[in-house]
Amino acid sequence: MKDQRLYLDRAGWEVSVNPGPSSINCFHTCDGDYYGRILPGEVHVHKDNQDFCVNCAIENGILTTERPTLP
């Protein structure tokens, strides 16, 4: 199985699961056209009033696939 890990490398950001029953609008526009929806059960990152879906969080450098270096 391919190693599929994501790392959160920004202070103040948290990872959550949308508990539902309604969706949450992503803070970032997808392809510059529309705001994506974070569906119930979907993992997302948030800080203050900013919620990002995983794809937008990766695109904005909030989440990364690069392993952090250990001290």
Q: How far apart are CA 10 and CA 50, in angstroms?
A: 14
Q: How far apart are CA 14 and CA 40, in angstroms?
A: 17
Domain boundaries defined on the chain: 7-64
pLDDT tens profile 52-64: 999 999 999 999 9
Read out DSSP for 24-49? EEEEEEETTTEEEEE-TT-EEEEETT
pLDDT tens profile 23-44: 999 998 876 677 889 999 999 9
* Whole-number percent of the chain with pLDDT over 90: 70
Q: Which two tokens stand for residue 57?
A: 């969080």
Helix (H, G, I), strand (E, B) or coil at 53: strand
